[in-house]
Structure 1
Amino acid sequence: MTDAVTAGEAPNSAGSQPRRWLFVLAILTGSFLLFLVQPMVARMALPKLGGAPNVWNSAMLVYQALLLGGYAYAHFIGRLSLAKQGYVHLAVLALAALTLPLHLAEIAPAAPGWEALWVPWLFLLSVGPVFFAVSAQAPLVQRWFAAHPQAGNPYPLYAASNLGSFGGLIAYPLLAEPLLPLAQQGRLWAFGYLVLLGLVAALVWARRGVAAAAPAVRATEEAAPQERTGWRRIMLWLALSAVPSGLMLSTTTYLTTDIMAMPLLWVIPLGLYLLSFSIAFAEGRGLARLFVLAAPVVLLAGAAMAIYGSGRPGLSAAIASVVLLFVVATALHARLYESRPEPAQLTRFYLVMSLGGALGGLFTALIAPVTFDWTWEHPILMVAAAALLPLGAYRGFADRFVLPAFFVRWTLLLALIAALFAGLAFLKIGEEMGRPGWAIAIALLGLFAFALFVAIRRWSFVAGTATVLAALGGIMQFQVSASGDRSRSYFGVYSVIRQDDGTRQLMHGTTTHGIQLAGEDGQRSLAPSTYYGPTSGAGMALASVPELFGRDAHIGVLGLGVGTLACFRQPGQRWTLFEIDPAVVRYSRDGTFTYVEKCTPDADVRVGDARLEMAETPADSYDLLVLDAFSSDSIPLHLLTNEAMGHYRRALGERGILVVNITNRFLQLKPVLSALAKEQGMVALVRDDVPDWEAGLYSSTWVVMTADPAVLAHLADKGEWEELPVPDRAAWTDDYASILPHLIWENFL
């Protein structure tokens, strides 16, 4: 088969109409299924490895690699006749259908430190065949559509493809997850896959009379001139694809670190990323041009708010990051669309695009976590975006004023210097005055003016973006990195804050995970602090252990932190400490924090997922378990399902106590624990502790659960406890859980 037919050749009567509606329907269906399955399989995987944000980023890397494979397959079978392409693709879809319904592959648990490779392998084995088959839909369907001489421009079908993808993403957290258990989700997805198979068969039938691909001419008058695609153009396609892809994942990390690794938050950046393609590749160019015009100002202002908000969780910084991603991705994809080739090279174009997306994902999901000690990939990608954004409108406006080149150059240099000092001064004002509203308003106006000015030249815009990022937080973050008091693992970024008096604080993202106060003679105090004071639920429960279980009780702590709870140990007790992240364990072993070293030197410290460890623990092993496993400020959802609770109860003795820390800014978890207690046949109480802040103690909320009412009555006699609310919803399970009813919306403001 050749890739072109003569312009005057007409197909036979069987294929006399382009049938655009059928191709749009098929491409929408395939894309909807493709992006519905992404959060679905990631949700299935949570019980395997918890809720770290990188689980989703690792999943996205696999999806991008499979998408690249699908686009490569679509490109290479393009050498066949249309009929053979159709038959081959139908066979591939049918073979992939043999792996349905969707389920997680049975593989050995991840060894500590190897999660970054284990998670992609799990996703590849679980969803690889069907994702690969469906991912080839977009380029293949567009190529088949373009094969008809009357078809017209095929590229807007890519906008329809991404609209379907966006719909699939939004449908999962808003409809599928809240309404359907995972098993039923998988069955419905399999049904949709069979519908897609039928649509592809209809497409093959619709093009049975078309002998070859579309003529190698421009699809519209706006298309790029017909020319040989050189390596410079291919490198541009790669860059314009890689930067938005990387930004999407780095924005995802920011959003999910301090709230929860949940599909509702996973899909926001990815959904906007896909929507950007729909605008950038639309046949009407008006909206895309507006995004291109706004992008330089949005990039500079959004970058400033994001870097300034790092370490200070809040809605404004989150919104700024999301808006930046959407506008900048649309502008970069619009430039990508303007550089597109003629339809004869369509599958090659999409193959390079997919490779660029995979490279951006590789940088953010794999390279950055092992290379950087902080999320440096986010500002790096912002500067890269500044180097690629279309700036023609601003340069053209400036060039209307005939000014000497040296004058323009020196004026821009002075503006950059002024911006650096202004940013540093603003940062100092924020530290001393608590970010006054008037200062923020003035700063934003200044940023808008600065962006409009420096955008007249590429070098000054890139330098201006880097300057703003450096002044409003980049220099400060570099100083922390240079001090050696920060580390990064698959599970997050940890910072140790050392005060002059010897007090040390561990931050995970923006959440305090423990403080060790200064003691006498330069020694660090072993007194409890933060959420673990004597009047906290955990403190009161641990103090009651000798009376309830004797001197030789066995205590288990799920989630180490800085080890504060270790100093509640009493003589004769056996302690076992569980921690998923080896980086956290090192802080207690290298002397950074001394609670474990001084109070439980003989404790058994086990590195691994607490739930998996509990599943392997013999029955009746513990008298008391403390569940305090957090990922920044988010609760790993897989630790609060009925199946997980069953593991904890089995590991406890008949009178054993489970103590759960549910302190959280964004989720009201009391109803969740109430439902779990009822399902497990346990009784429960909750304690809201408001201690003395000046003593280094924080407010906390703890729940105690036990199967023995007498044990609960003993605890109730020791302090003020309350009954949990009557559950109004079913308990969370591995198959069904939704946090939407439990969000504390006012705390997002």
Structure 2
Amino acid sequence: MPLFATTVFLSAFLLFQIQPIVGKMILPWFGGSSSVWSTCIVFFQAELLLGYAYVHWLHEKLPGRRQALVHGGLLLLSLVTLPVVADPVWKGTAMAHPGLSVLAVLATAVGAPYLLLSTTGPLMQAWYARSHSASLTTARPYRLYALSNLASMLGLLSYPVLIEPLLPVGAQLMSWSAAYAVFVVTCVATAVLAWHRMAPPAVAHPAELAAAPPPGWRECLLWIGLSATPSILLLAMTRHLTQDVAPVPFLWVLPLSIYLLSFILCFDAPRYYVRPVFLAALPLALVAMDSVLDSGMDVPLLIGLLCACLFIFCMVCHGELVRRKPPVRHLTLFYLMLSVGGALGGLLVGLVAPAIFTAYFELPLGLFLCAALVVTVLWRELRPVWRGLLLVTLLGYGWRLGDISQEYVQGYRRVVRNFYSQLRVQDSTDAALGPQRTMLHGRINHGEQYTALAHRRQPTAYYCEKSGIGRAIRSLPQAQPLKLGVVGLGAGTLSVYGRAGDEMRIYEINEQVLDLARSEFSYLADTPARIVPVLGDGRLMLEREAPQQFDLLAMDAFSGDSIPTHLLTLEAIQTYLGHLKPEGLLAIHITNHYLDLRPVMAAAAQHFGRTALLYKLQPEDNDAYCSHSIWVLFMRPESESSLPASLQGGERLVPRPGFKPWTDSFSNLLGILK
């Protein structure tokens, strides 16, 4: 037992440790979008499905000893794929199909090792059952599944706490590759032990194992549904967190750890799934999610509520799964159906939903499926009157979710969605300034315009004359043409500041943003400046270009309150500074509900010997055109003593003692939560 347990523990630990490592490495290559993590999960679930299918085939078609020989040989062959590393050639080269590109880079980087790791849990359980066929009542191979989920959760939780702060990404990959080699040795040793203990090749299955009848197709469909629903909810709720806060490993790891914890508790012992308690808590969780879908809330409350609800959903679905687990003879089929459900759920959220939905309908859909599955599970146990009551309640809940889903798209001029985001264009009327048009990403304003002729050329919101960026552009020399760079287009508001002879080079990763800026807003069409749009991730595009000699470069590429951390690292800022004229200004927009980015800015400025001045437009200072905003300007220290009048009054940022600058290998969101 210790050797089987060690092999299962090590495989599961490595299986889930590699996910945030590779996800963090490739995140900057695809614009820092939260969808990168969803697509990574799709890949890992698909690999898990392939692994479980391989184990089921092995279990059903080959005698025990031959299984050990085949699997041991594949493990040794997989060593030639080491070390695991993602090929940088994928950087920004496939922006037309980013989802497929993420899958491709993951397949080439970790495909073979991950596939073999994914087979270990069910295969070790099957081998353990075979080698203890005389005492199946005490062997309890299903407990190895609980152990594997415990190791998975430890692998995830240890990453943001221990691995990420201590090691750069390259060292993380090399360390993981070395640990994988140790796993191969351990697994081969387990295969040798199993080969000696299992029945000879002439006996395909011990009599005790072969006697159990196979489950029917209805039971298999129920297994799939109970597995797919928490997978949908996991990814949809993670997307909600990572889009509105930040696409970082910590917020990937937390929901996934809760998901795994439910597996641990349910598969370790049935007593942890106290059915009456969790079934009673389920309606409360469904009602609580109504608040998440229908309104915003503070970050700690949002994270706590989402995690508590997710735990209840997963405990109910996985608890009901365990209540229906088959005899050990059919455990590989059981795990295969679980992996089918997980892969289908991941596929829906990660790839299908961005392609066919205009809004984030997958979360309401997952909530309804969860409620419907519970009704299905309980149906035969209830009296007719309770069946009718549950059915009416389910239909009412579905109606409510439908109303919320309709609110995602009703009342807007345009609603579009792709891999990078969901965007909405909304018309409204201001009592003083007349018709107003706004571009929204989630609940965040990404640019607005007053469409009346008298006001349509006025800069608005975060970009008005009183904002940090407005003051910075007005401070530039006006006697000569200017060259301005902008990373993040939005509605195109900053083009208002362009004059005849000026050039404004605008970097935008999302083609839908450019389409909406051109078709729904008139800023780009009205400006006399020359507009040069560049499609692609702003940082990657700037890294490839010759120095642009910008008079000012404005960084405003954040999606809602989500921070693509790769845009704020020392390596990124060094790239930006390299594109400025000697006296050029770097302006970074750091307005955020949840994160205080001032320490990040101060540490970077100190590293490069620059002065960082903060310009905060308070709500009480706003005029009709302005919104609350915070901009930081990077400049040479000698420029601070001779600032023009428009830039007087900025707050000089002072580094926080002990705060570590962000790099491509290190960033810490926990340290800057408000």
TM-score by length of 1: 0.83
Inter-partner Cα distance in structure 2 for 1:684 and 1:300: 46
- The counterpart of 2:364, out of the listed 379, 392, 408, is 379
Q: Secondary structure of the residue that 1:551 maps to in structure 2? A: coil
Question: Compared with structure 1, are the counterparts of its residues 560 and 232 closer, same or farther at alpha carbon in structure 2 (3 Å cutoff)?
Answer: same
The equivalent of 2:596 in structure 1 is 668
The equivalent of 2:37 in structure 1 is 56
Residues 497-512 of structure 1 aligned to structure 2 (within 5 Å): 497-500=426-429, 501-512=434-445
Residues 53-202 of structure 1 aligned to structure 2 (within 5 Å): 53-78=34-59, 79-108=61-90, 109-147=92-130, 148-149=132-133, 150-151=135-136, 152-202=139-189
Inter-partner Cα distance in structure 2 for 1:40 and 1:162: 19
Q: Once the 2 structures are TM-superposed, how far is the Cα of residue 531 of structure 1 from its aligned partner?
A: 1.1
Q: Once the 2 structures are TM-superposed, how far is the Cα of residue 388 of structure 1 from its aligned partner?
A: 0.9
Inter-partner Cα distance in structure 1 for 2:301 and 2:388: 28
CA RMSD of aligned residues (A): 2.6
Residues 243 and 384, structure 1, Cα contact 8 Å, conserved in 2: yes
Inter-partner Cα distance in structure 2 for 1:48 and 1:679: 24
| Code of the aligned partner of 2:408 | Q
Inter-partner Cα distance in structure 1 for 2:234 and 2:52: 20
Q: Secondary structure of the residue that 1:633 maps to in structure 2? A: coil
Residues 451-470 of structure 1 aligned to structure 2 (within 5 Å): 457-470=389-402
Residues 538-617 of structure 1 aligned to structure 2 (within 5 Å): 538-546=469-477, 550-590=479-519, 592-600=520-528, 602-617=530-545
Stretches of structure 1 lacking an aligned partner (at least 5 in a row): 1-18, 220-224, 400-404, 409-453, 745-749
Asked if 1:298 corresponds to 2:280, the answer is no
Q: Secondary structure of the residue that 2:338 maps to in structure 1? A: helix
Residues 15 and 152, structure 2, Cα contact 8 Å, conserved in 1: yes
Q: Secondary structure of the residue that 1:496 maps to in structure 2? A: strand
| Code of the aligned partner of 1:528 | P
| Code of the aligned partner of 1:100 | L
The equivalent of 2:17 in structure 1 is 36
Inter-partner Cα distance in structure 1 for 2:470 and 2:409: 38
- The counterpart of 2:246, out of the listed 260, 277, 282, is 260
Deviations 1:650-693 (A, max 9, x none): 22222222111111122221221222223334333222222633
Residues 23 and 37, structure 2, Cα contact 8 Å, conserved in 1: yes
The equivalent of 2:3 in structure 1 is 22
- The counterpart of 2:418, out of the listed 461, 478, 489, is 489
- The counterpart of 1:644, out of the listed 568, 572, 596, is 572
Asked if 1:629 corresponds to 2:615, the answer is no
Question: Compared with structure 1, are the counterparts of its residues 716 and 127 closer, same or farther at alpha carbon in structure 2 (3 Å cutoff)?
Answer: farther
- The counterpart of 1:536, out of the listed 452, 457, 467, is 467
Question: Compared with structure 1, are the counterparts of its residues 23 and 226 closer, same or farther at alpha carbon in structure 2 (3 Å cutoff)?
Answer: same
Q: Once the 2 structures are TM-superposed, how far is the Cα of residue 716 of structure 1 from its aligned partner?
A: 7.3
Question: Compared with structure 1, are the counterparts of its residues 100 and 642 closer, same or farther at alpha carbon in structure 2 (3 Å cutoff)?
Answer: farther
| Code of the aligned partner of 2:149 | N
Equivalent pairs counted in the alignment come to: 658
Residues 619 and 653, structure 1, Cα contact 8 Å, conserved in 2: no
Residues 291 and 331, structure 1, Cα contact 8 Å, conserved in 2: no
Question: Compared with structure 1, are the counterparts of its residues 497 and 210 closer, same or farther at alpha carbon in structure 2 (3 Å cutoff)?
Answer: same
Q: Once the 2 structures are TM-superposed, how far is the Cα of residue 601 of structure 1 from its aligned partner?
A: 6.2
Residues 280 and 331, structure 1, Cα contact 8 Å, conserved in 2: no
Question: Compared with structure 1, are the counterparts of its residues 477 and 639 closer, same or farther at alpha carbon in structure 2 (3 Å cutoff)?
Answer: closer
Inter-partner Cα distance in structure 1 for 2:508 and 2:528: 15
The equivalent of 1:519 in structure 2 is 452
Residues 31 and 161, structure 1, Cα contact 8 Å, conserved in 2: yes
Inter-partner Cα distance in structure 1 for 2:637 and 2:272: 68
Q: Once the 2 structures are TM-superposed, how far is the Cα of residue 195 of structure 1 from its aligned partner?
A: 2.7
Inter-partner Cα distance in structure 2 for 1:188 and 1:390: 47
Inter-partner Cα distance in structure 1 for 2:99 and 2:642: 46
Inter-partner Cα distance in structure 2 for 1:61 and 1:725: 43
| Code of the aligned partner of 1:90 | G
Stretches of structure 2 lacking an aligned partner (at least 5 in a row): none
| Code of the aligned partner of 1:614 | L
Inter-partner Cα distance in structure 2 for 1:297 and 1:620: 57
Q: Once the 2 structures are TM-superposed, how far is the Cα of residue 694 of structure 1 from its aligned partner?
A: 4.8
Residues 279 and 288, structure 1, Cα contact 8 Å, conserved in 2: no
Q: Once the 2 structures are TM-superposed, how far is the Cα of residue 215 of structure 1 from its aligned partner?
A: 3.9
Q: Once the 2 structures are TM-superposed, how far is the Cα of residue 65 of structure 1 from its aligned partner?
A: 0.9
| Code of the aligned partner of 1:610 | G
Deviations 1:261-291 (A, max 9, x none): 0011111221111111112222333534255
Deviations 1:232-280 (A, max 9, x none): 2222222221111111111111111111000111112211111111122
Residues 150-549 of structure 1 aligned to structure 2 (within 5 Å): 150-151=135-136, 152-212=139-199, 215=206, 217=208, 226-290=212-276, 292-309=278-295, 315-316=300-301, 318-389=303-374, 399=383, 408=385, 457-470=389-402, 473-477=404-408, 479-480=410-411, 483-500=412-429, 501-520=434-453, 525-546=456-477
| Code of the aligned partner of 1:379 | P
Inter-partner Cα distance in structure 1 for 2:85 and 2:196: 40
680-689 vs 380-389, greater mean Cα deviation: 680-689
Q: Once the 2 structures are TM-superposed, how far is the Cα of residue 366 of structure 1 from its aligned partner?
A: 0.8
- The counterpart of 1:734, out of the listed 659, 664, 667, is 664
Residues 61 and 362, structure 1, Cα contact 8 Å, conserved in 2: yes
Inter-partner Cα distance in structure 1 for 2:38 and 2:514: 24
Q: Once the 2 structures are TM-superposed, how far is the Cα of residue 621 of structure 1 from its aligned partner?
A: 3.0
The equivalent of 1:701 in structure 2 is 630
Inter-partner Cα distance in structure 1 for 2:583 and 2:161: 40
Inter-partner Cα distance in structure 2 for 1:329 and 1:186: 31
Q: Secondary structure of the residue that 2:196 maps to in structure 1? A: coil
Q: Secondary structure of the residue that 1:612 maps to in structure 2? A: helix
Residues 282 and 312, structure 2, Cα contact 8 Å, conserved in 1: no
Aligned-pair identity in percent equals: 34
Q: Secondary structure of the residue that 1:141 maps to in structure 2? A: helix
| Code of the aligned partner of 2:565 | L
TM-score by length of 2: 0.91
Residues 684 and 724, structure 1, Cα contact 8 Å, conserved in 2: yes
Inter-partner Cα distance in structure 2 for 1:485 and 1:121: 32
Residues 579 and 608, structure 1, Cα contact 8 Å, conserved in 2: yes
Inter-partner Cα distance in structure 1 for 2:219 and 2:68: 31
Q: Once the 2 structures are TM-superposed, how far is the Cα of residue 394 of structure 1 from its aligned partner?
A: 9.2
Q: Once the 2 structures are TM-superposed, how far is the Cα of residue 127 of structure 1 from its aligned partner?
A: 1.6
Inter-partner Cα distance in structure 1 for 2:335 and 2:193: 24
Question: Compared with structure 1, are the counterparts of its residues 179 and 586 closer, same or farther at alpha carbon in structure 2 (3 Å cutoff)?
Answer: same
Deviations 1:688-711 (A, max 9, x none): 222633514122221111346237
